């Protein structure tokens, strides 16, 4: 829940102005968690939209490329 999944990355700083507003996003977020639980996944969550400090270490097969030149 600490990640915003919709961001405009066309500049050096991601923009989230096109992301869903809380009145739409919160029910979608809760529905997504419910569907994951229905399929047997253990789901943990925090407060939707909370300001959080996150430490992470990239230790996996996924890399997200931010192309600020629009060359993708």
Residue 63 a catalytic site member: no
State both tokens at 64: 């997200």
Residue 68 a catalytic site member: no
Residue 42 a catalytic site member: no
d(CA 52, CA 25): 18
Query: Exposed (0-12), middle (13-18) or buried (19+): which is 20, by Cβ within 10 Å?
Result: middle
Catalytic machinery residues: 2-4
């Amino acid at each position: 829940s600490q990640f915003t999944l919709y961001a405009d990355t066309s500049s050096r700083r991601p923009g989230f102005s096109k992301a869903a507003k809380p009145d739409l996003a919160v029910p979608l977020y809760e529905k997504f968690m419910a569907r994951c639980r229905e399929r047997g996944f253990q789901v943990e969550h925090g407060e939707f939209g909370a300001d959080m400090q996150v430490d992470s270490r990239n230790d996996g097969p996924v890399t997200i490329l931010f192309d600020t030149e629009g060359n993708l």
